């Protein structure tokens, strides 16, 4: 079995999710590579050591440049705040490493383009961790759409609702809170949550042409953890936008961290001529499906418990009726990444795919700033 030696940068929430995926993929999928947890890198040596011990990483680095320089690392996995994605990715590409980068790809499209150029020049396999594509119910949605079951698509609507920043006492910046710091995150819910919604939407329904957005920052000032001072909040707490897809579909997107009662309520619904689909991250193992071609008398929304061996990814797990969870999306992504390098057909979203999402985010933020419709810029080479 070939070995794929992973060098992980960052040890937070995503560091755990990815490590778990590397450790499990071979138990459940017939892949040709063994993922070896070669090194974890973090500035804080003690924390890196503790993480390595917990997860079985063979070594520790405190400088990502050293990690990239090592010749016993095949894959660099980037799990650090957004403002570091570009620099690390470009360096890793130059060093000839495969790259798995957390989402969003970059701080903005301009950075993203340089990253795409770097990985494409270096011809290294690359992928961005938009993991929701690989929730089986979401993959099933893709399959149903690609089979043409929905017919012409009229509407797309997506939301990602959370409620964890309602308190004005929450500081910005620092461990676990860098998502509130515009310097580290680039934007608020747009890059963090809507980026997920946009990635799924582009995948399921094709390109977005124009957008019209509004954003709001409900709490204008927060104490900054790093400076200790009360500073202006630079991120968007909430963002909603209208959009038109290339295929003529109309869309609404919305995200906020001020929706009391919702923790991670990512939902999307697609209405086609013949059929409609609804999915919800809070019950991620179900897909709601309505098919107008069903006999009228017994027509209704079907609540599909996506746990059958015929359904995407599920034959690798347990038996019908037994659900999997959030973390499995990462395992599926690693399995597909490995299959991609084994077959030569790269699994998406690649950096180039993720750049499309970045450009939509850019247009959304520009629209909110200008109070006007914005065309999404092209990513054509």
Chain positions 234 to 263 lying near its own copies, rule: CB under 8 A, are 238, 240-242, 244, 248, 250, 252, 254, 256, 258-263
What are the b/e assignments for 126-164, b being 16+ CB within 10 Å? bbbbbbbbbbbbbbbbbebbeeeebeebeebbbbbbbbe
Judged by beta carbon, residue 262 or residue 332, the one nearer its own copies is: 262
Q: Is 276 in contact with 290 (CB distance < 8 Å)?
A: yes
Judged by beta carbon, residue 82 or residue 307, the one nearer its own copies is: 307
Judged by beta carbon, residue 14 or residue 355, the one nearer its own copies is: 14
Q: Which 328-367 positions form the footprint of its own copies (CB under 8 A)?
A: 328
Locus of tokens 């997860």: 55
Q: Is 187 in contact with 91 (CB distance < 8 Å)?
A: no
Judged by beta carbon, residue 140 or residue 363, the one nearer its own copies is: 140
What are the b/e assignments for 318-354, b being 16+ CB within 10 Å? eeeeebbeeebbbbbbbbbbbbbbeeeebbbbbbbbb
Can you read off the two tokens belonging to residue 131? 């993991």
Binding residue for its own copies, selected from 96, 148, 221, 326, defined by CB under 8 A: 326
Q: Which 177-196 positions form the footprint of its own copies (CB under 8 A)?
A: none
Distance of closest approach, residue 163 Cβ to its own copies, in angstroms: 8
Binding residue for its own copies, selected from 175, 228, 229, 321, defined by CB under 8 A: 321
Q: Which 80-99 positions form the footprint of its own copies (CB under 8 A)?
A: none
Q: Which 261-280 positions form the footprint of its own copies (CB under 8 A)?
A: 261-265, 271-276
Binding residue for its own copies, selected from 175, 344, 371, 378, defined by CB under 8 A: 371
Q: How far apart are CA 223 and CA 233, in angstroms?
A: 9
Q: Is 86 in contact with 115 (CB distance < 8 Å)?
A: yes
Q: Is 304 in contact with 137 (CB distance < 8 Å)?
A: yes
Cis peptide leading into residue 349 (ω within 30°): yes
DSSP 230-259: EEE--S-SEEEEEEEETTS-EEEEEEES--
Q: Is 14 in contact with 129 (CB distance < 8 Å)?
A: yes
27 lines the binding site for its own copies (CB under 8 A): yes
Judged by beta carbon, residue 22 or residue 337, the one nearer its own copies is: 22
Taking residues 212 to 231 in sequence order and writing x for each that binds its own copies by CB under 8 A, - otherwise, the string is: xxx-x-x-------------
Q: Which 116-175 positions form the footprint of its own copies (CB under 8 A)?
A: 140, 143-144, 150, 154-155, 157, 161-164, 166
Distance of closest approach, residue 344 Cβ to its own copies, in angstroms: 25
Q: Which 39-58 positions form the footprint of its own copies (CB under 8 A)?
A: 54-55
Q: Which stretch binds its own copies (CB under 8 A): 91-99, 101-109, 190-198, 300-308?
A: 300-308
Can you read off the two tokens belonging to residue 11? 């040890």
Judged by beta carbon, residue 126 or residue 307, the one nearer its own copies is: 307
Q: Which residues contact 228 (CB under 8 A, 6 or more apart)?
A: none
Q: How many residues bind its own copies (CB under 8 A)?
A: 93
3-state DSSP assignment of residue 34 = strand
């Amino acid at each position: 079995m070939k070995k794929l030696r992973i060098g992980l940068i960052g040890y937070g929430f995503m560091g755990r999710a990815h490590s778990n995926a590397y450790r499990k993929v071979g138990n459940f999928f017939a892949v040709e590579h063994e993922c070896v947890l070669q090194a974890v890198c973090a500035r804080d040596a003690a924390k890196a050591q503790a993480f390595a011990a917990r997860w079985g990483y063979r070594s520790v680095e405190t400088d990502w440049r050293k990690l990239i320089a090592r010749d016993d690392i095949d894959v660099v996995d980037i799990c650090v705040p957004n403002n570091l994605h570009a620099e690390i990715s470009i360096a890793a590409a130059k060093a000839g490493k495969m790259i798995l980068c957390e989402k969003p790809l970059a701080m903005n499209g301009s950075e993203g383009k340089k990253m795409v150029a770097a990985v494409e020049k270096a011809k290294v396999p690359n992928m961005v961790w938009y993991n929701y594509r690989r929730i089986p119910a979401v993959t099933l949605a893709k399959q149903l759409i690609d089979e043409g079951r929905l017919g012409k698509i009229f509407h797309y609507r997506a939301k990602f609702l959370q409620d964890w920043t309602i308190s004005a006492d929450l500081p910005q910046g620092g461990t676990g809170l860098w998502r509130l710091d515009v310097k580290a995150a680039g934007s608020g819910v747009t890059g963090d949550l809507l980026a997920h919604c946009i990635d799924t939407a582009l995948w399921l329904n094709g390109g977005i042409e124009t957008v019209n957005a509004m954003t709001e920052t409900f709490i204008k000032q927060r104490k900054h953890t790093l400076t200790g001072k009360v500073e202006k909040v630079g991120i968007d707490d909430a963002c909603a936008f209208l959009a038109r897809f290339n295929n003529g579909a109309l869309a609404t997107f919305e995200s906020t961290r001020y929706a009391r009662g919702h923790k991670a309520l990512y939902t999307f619904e697609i209405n086609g001529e013949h059929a409609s689909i609804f999915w919800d991250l809070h019950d991620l193992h179900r897909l709601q499906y309505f098919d107008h071609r069903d006999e009228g008398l017994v027509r209704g929304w079907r609540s599909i418990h996506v746990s059958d061996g015929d359904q995407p990814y599920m034959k690798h797990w347990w038996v019908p009726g037994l659900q999997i969870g959030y973390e499995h999306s990462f395992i599926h992504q690693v399995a597909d990444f490995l299959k991609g390098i084994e077959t030569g057909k790269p699994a998406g979203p690649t950096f180039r795919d993720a750049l499309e999402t970045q450009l939509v985010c850019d247009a959304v933020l520009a629209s909110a700033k200008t109070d006007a419709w914005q065309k999404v810029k092209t990513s054509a080479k």
